[in-house]
Every structure is written in structure tokens, then in C-alpha cells.
């Protein structure tokens, strides 16, 4: 069975689009103000109680009515915000690193001899027409609807 050759430019474009998505998510951060308000309602108090050991004990003096104090809420929000800022910075660094790698493997036109004819094809400047780095990076997003199983190594 002859499979159609992989179009490396499609794989490369797919990878860049996914990195754009990752970059947008990192810049936005997960905890928007709306999400934070929903996350700190009293309905979520039982979930926060499970995290008690991560916060100073005095912030968890919960009154009998099971309402979390404003001071505890502020401490939790600050802790989550700090964590989210670190996470976003790490994600942005990850995206920048992957972009640099991908740029080195950008497909370029190259002459190829097929059936005694010279035909220009797009190939990776480093690895030729079957770039494992580009295909491997694409495989990180294999759950995306635009990912093609034929790209898998």
C-alpha cells in the first residue's frame, strides 16, 4: 500500500499554530477574575480544606457556618496568582525554545530527482523530507483535531 508522502510544510504549519495556541494560553493565564470568583465561593470550601497543609494554619480558622475568611481568601488568591505567574513564564519559555528548534527545521525548496525528473520539493534543511523533530513536536499535540495520524513517527 502506497501512502501519500507527508507534506512537511503542513506539519511545520500545524506545529506553529499549536505553539501560537500555547503562547496565547500562557499570556492569558488560567485564572481570570471570573474564574477566581467562581473558584472561591463557599461551595468550594471543602476542596480548599483538603489543601490546608499548604497554607499557614491560622488562615484556616473557619467559623461554624463554614464560611472562609476574607484574609484566607486573599492568601489563597495570592498564592495561586504567584503560582500561575511562574507557570505562565515557564510556558512562554517552553514555547520560545520550541519555536527556535522549529525555525531551524523550517522546510525549504530543494531540487529532488523523481522518475528521472528534477522536481522542487519542500524539505527540512537539516533532516530532508522526513524530519523527526518536526513530526515529534507535532505528536505532542496528537489530540488536536487537525493532527494527522500519518505524521506519527
- Over residues 116-142, mean pLDDT: 87
pTM: 0.66
The 3-state secondary structure of the chain, one letter per residue: CCCCCCCHHHHHHHHHHHHHHHHHHHHHCCCCHHHHHHHCCHHHHHHHHCCHHHCCHHHHCCCCCCCCCHHHHHHHHHHHHHHHHHHHHHHHHHHHHHHHHHHHCCEEEEEEEECCEEEEEEEECCCECCCHHHHHHHHCCCCCCCCCHHHCC
**115 or 13, which is more confident:** 13
- Over residues 36-64, mean pLDDT: 53
Question: Any idea where the domains of the chain sit in the sequence?
Answer: 11-148
Amino acid at each position: 500500500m502506497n501512502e501519500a508522502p507527508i507534506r512537511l510544510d503542513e506539519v511545520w504549519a500545524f506545529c506553529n499554530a499549536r505553539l501560537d495556541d500555547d503562547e496565547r494560553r500562557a499570556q492569558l493565564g488560567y485564572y481570570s477574575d471570573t474564574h477566581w470568583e467562581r473558584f472561591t465561593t463557599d461551595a468550594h470550601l471543602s476542596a480548599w480544606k483538603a489543601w490546608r497543609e499548604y497554607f499557614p494554619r491560622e488562615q484556616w480558622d473557619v467559623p461554624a457556618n463554614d464560611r472562609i475568611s476574607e484574609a484566607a481568601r486573599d492568601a489563597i488568591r495570592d498564592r495561586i496568582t504567584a503560582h500561575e505567574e511562574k507557570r505562565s513564564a515557564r510556558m512562554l519559555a517552553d514555547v520560545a525554545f520550541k519555536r527556535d528548534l522549529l525555525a531551524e527545521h523550517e522546510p525549504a525548496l530543494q531540487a529532488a530527482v523523481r522518475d528521472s525528473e528534477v522536481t522542487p520539493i519542500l524539505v527540512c534543511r537539516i533532516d530532508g523530507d522526513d524530519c523527526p523533530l518536526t513530526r515529534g513536536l507535532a505528536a505532542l499535540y496528537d489530540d488536536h483535531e487537525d493532527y494527522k495520524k500519518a505524521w506519527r513517527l
